[in-house]
Structure 1
């Protein structure tokens, strides 16, 4: 898979691994990189079958497959400990990492993630699959903003969205790959294994998320040991893009708190 290692390269710099949502692109994290690369070694990557990581995904492709691919990449980079940050589908990858290799993770930040299917999100993903199959990539990309961002933000950022949509169409994944990625997140269900996850976790959710109800993050916060929820009022499903400053503040403050806790533990 295509990856980039950015930011602080000091030997003792903490490592952050950032995993995007359904789009799978490292480009998603551009609004966070300026504040994260000051103190951290940051690993971003294009997930298999997306962007600069061409692949033909198997019919039985799963979130566990995605976690396995990421673990293989991190092993090649000799990354033995890291903080993980995942948005939506990327958050599911983080939960799977916490089950497959808990010793890798110092902490997790899971953004608008979930541990099992819910009827509202199922309806949204069914609509997106139908758009892709029946109307093609252009219609799929044009509709994407409706699921990701608040209406007023869409109205105020039409030029930016036009550029983003042109880029997305120019780098659109194979239809079968995207359908298999959607199927993987729809099938994800670890309710009976949540008690096994002990990684310190911050859940970030948005009250105005139109794709994943914020209560799915509350559910995770209630069931994961050592987890807490930061509930934001505005920003939709992708507040890391649409309301950057409050999102980045929650992220940076949490990571700083983890660093302080580790220092106290060492002392």
Structure 2
């Protein structure tokens, strides 16, 4: 096993910020292709919380020298980073809001340390993106390989085509923002992480999650079909509810922050 930096080192490497001074702690963890700035339009709804935000090591806002290709071959290393950050901050109990791959990171972290998490909010979460027998993840293997080949051939062209599809909604500023953070990623790191995410399969461990979960799903998401939210609800081991947003796209925190912000506040207040 390749050891990573210590918790204190990670606070600097991952640009960890703690905002506010509320009694309750909420951690926001971004998805693939973005960084912590993707939560900027959401944070106003959590003035009464102590908010922790950070960048995944693969994001373009982190020095790429810190991305160890031997260490980040699975999601487990990202889980280790999250837990190390929370320990370094002395946090003993928190709410966790994770988008896309970070929702999966939160699931794995809650299996390891259930006492640390009061609730998981899983936005655009998928335990498996590939279709498999009776499971509909949304993608065939050939489609995934085509995406990876396009990234490798011409990253700029791929971003220009990919960003509008993933944002989904007709919100140009959200497409512009997502394109910016995608372009900030070093292309070889982006390709490596994308392959790691597409090859991940968490279906076999969902029953181990005992922490209450809120599954947030938009009405139309090209990355995660609605059937995945239903699959999560029926296979997670603890209490799980679904919040269906009347919006489009995989990035509601960029495209519809008011709608998502209201849902998140309600989910954490329960």
Q: TM-score w.r.t. structure 1 length?
A: 0.84
Which has a greater percent of helix?
1
Instruction: Give structure 2 stretches of 5+ with no counterpart.
Output: 1-12, 132-137
Deviates more, 1:219-228 or 1:112-121: 112-121
Asked whether the 8 Å contact 1:7–1:39 carries over to 2, the reply is: no
Asked whether the 8 Å contact 1:83–1:106 carries over to 2, the reply is: yes
User: CA separation of 1:34/1:208 partners in 2, compared to 1, >3 Å: closer, same or farther?
Assistant: same
1:122-201 aligned at under 5 Å gives the runs 125-136=144-155, 138-151=156-169, 153-154=170-171, 157=172, 161-162=175-176, 165-166=179-180, 168-169=182-183, 171-173=184-186, 175-201=187-213
Structure 2 counterpart of 1:228 = 241
Alpha-carbon deviations, 1:145-203, whole Å to 9, x = none?
2332235x14xx2x66446534643x222x33222211221222222222111101100
User: CA separation of 1:164/1:212 partners in 2, compared to 1, >3 Å: closer, same or farther?
Assistant: closer
Structure 1 counterpart of 2:6 = none
User: How far apart in 1 are the matches of 2:214 and 2:202?
Assistant: 18
Cα distance, 1:42 vs structure 2: 0.9
User: CA separation of 1:240/1:127 partners in 2, compared to 1, >3 Å: closer, same or farther?
Assistant: farther
Instruction: Give structure 1 stretches of 5+ with no counterpart.
Output: 258-267
User: CA separation of 1:127/1:29 partners in 2, compared to 1, >3 Å: closer, same or farther?
Assistant: farther
Asked whether the 8 Å contact 2:174–2:254 carries over to 1, the reply is: no
Cα distance, 1:250 vs structure 2: 0.9
Cα distance, 1:204 vs structure 2: 0.4
Alpha-carbon deviations, 1:99-149, whole Å to 9, x = none?
12111111000011112233324566434322210112x113212323322
Cα distance, 1:29 vs structure 2: 0.8
Structure 2 counterpart of 1:27 = 37
Count of residues in Structure 1 that have an aligned counterpart in Structure 2: 247
2:263 to 244, 247, 250: 250
Asked if 1:116 corresponds to 2:128, the answer is yes
Asked whether the 8 Å contact 2:94–2:116 carries over to 1, the reply is: yes
User: How far apart in 2 are the matches of 1:177 and 1:128?
Assistant: 15
Cα distance, 1:69 vs structure 2: 1.2
Asked if 1:50 corresponds to 2:59, the answer is yes
Asked whether the 8 Å contact 2:25–2:49 carries over to 1, the reply is: yes
User: How far apart in 2 are the matches of 1:220 and 1:161?
Assistant: 28
Alpha-carbon deviations, 1:214-260, whole Å to 9, x = none?
21111111122200011123121112221222211111001111xxx
Alpha-carbon deviations, 1:23-50, whole Å to 9, x = none?
24101111111111x1111111111132
User: How far apart in 1 are the matches of 2:145 and 2:31?
Assistant: 17
